[in-house]
Amino acid sequence: MAFQNVTIAGTGVLGSQIAYQTALNGFNVTAYDRNPDTAKKRVTGLKASYQNDLGLSDAEFNAGLNRINFTADLAEAVKDADYVIEALPENLDIKEEFYKQLSKLAPAKTIFASNSSTMVPSQLVKFVDRPTKYLHMHFANKIWKCNVAEIMGTEQTDPAVFQEVVDFAHAIKMVPIPLHKEQPGYVLNSLLIPFVISAMALWVKGVADPQTVDKDWMISTGSPVGPFMMLDDVGLRTVWNIVTNLYESRQQEVFKVIADRLKEMIDAGHEGLESGQGFYHYPNPEFADPDFLKK
């Protein structure tokens, strides 16, 4: 494993998880975010989940946290980076600006990866100065237990670089999922996005409310969660970005209607689990009621 210093750019829902998971497994991590205090608070907020799901002690959790440096200075964040994982919003303009800056600031050795959930490497590789050292590494939410890392390169990606990232995935206790050609949505979101879009279409068309959709799915399939529970977990701002990109690329009216309804919720501060309200209310969501599936 050639990597020692790893930079995570963007500490939203997934970026914060990637930063902590990487630090917990012994790497020196720099978390780049415009608001380092908020970033540290978000990472620290993972403590209960890591303790409940993995049984970490306070000392073990803090050991991982202490390996993360938080900064708003991109030059400082990448000056010694072996590997940079970009986890910024799903907005092409934001990513273009970031990669052009990153290319100027990062050492020649640095490998770049995006955690983009909807964009493929060929959409972003044109913004970097090192196409042979560029690829995508996409994580699922709650990476400490849903531990896949989908890895996708371009025709220009050096096979040795691809293998280094596969090795890194193993090192942070991920199961690497190598993809052999570009696929929008990778494997996970190729299956998940149509599913949650269908659920949201039922909602915006007035066919059924979110709780009813979730109940039907859970009872009918035996799944422990429904689509709207998943959406709250991911965060509605991320979902809005994904749906907006779908509308811009496909021009289907249903995507615009969904995006508009999500924007109303976001503007009201109802961004999902992290904000305390999305389709459900937290920390005591309606689906936590033992009789949720019986009503």
In this predicted structure, the answer to whether residue 210 has a pLDDT above a threshold of 80 is: yes
Model confidence pLDDT, tens digit, residues 31-79: 999 999 999 999 999 999 999 999 999 999 999 999 999 999 999 999 9
Averaged pLDDT of the chain:
95
d(CA 63, CA 75): 25
Instruction: Give me the percent of the chain exceeding a pLDDT of 70.
Output: 100
Handedness of CA 164, 165, 169, 172 (dihedral sign): positive
Which residues contact residue 86 at a Cβ distance below 8 angstroms, ignoring those fewer than 6 apart? Answer: 9, 10, 95, 98, 99, 102, 112, 113, 114, 115, 116
pLDDT score, position 2: 83
- Is residue 279 pLDDT above 80, yes or no? yes
Q: Which pair of structure tokens corresponds to residue 152?
A: 């996708």
**pLDDT the model gives residue 240:** 94
Asked if the model's pLDDT at residue 92 lies above 70, the reply is yes
- Give the model's pLDDT for residue 1: 60
Residue carrying structure tokens 């790497």: 27
**Pairing mode of beta strands 148-153, 134-139:** antiparallel
Q: Residues 165-169: what's their mean pLDDT? A: 98
Instruction: Please name which of 276, 280, 284, 189 lies closest in space to residue 239, comparing C-alpha atoms.
Output: 189
Lowest-pLDDT range of 142-156, 236-250, 265-279: 236-250
The phi and psi torsions of 56 (rounded to 5 degrees) equal -65, 140
Residue-level pLDDT at 295: 82
- Longest C-alpha distance within the chain, in Å? 60
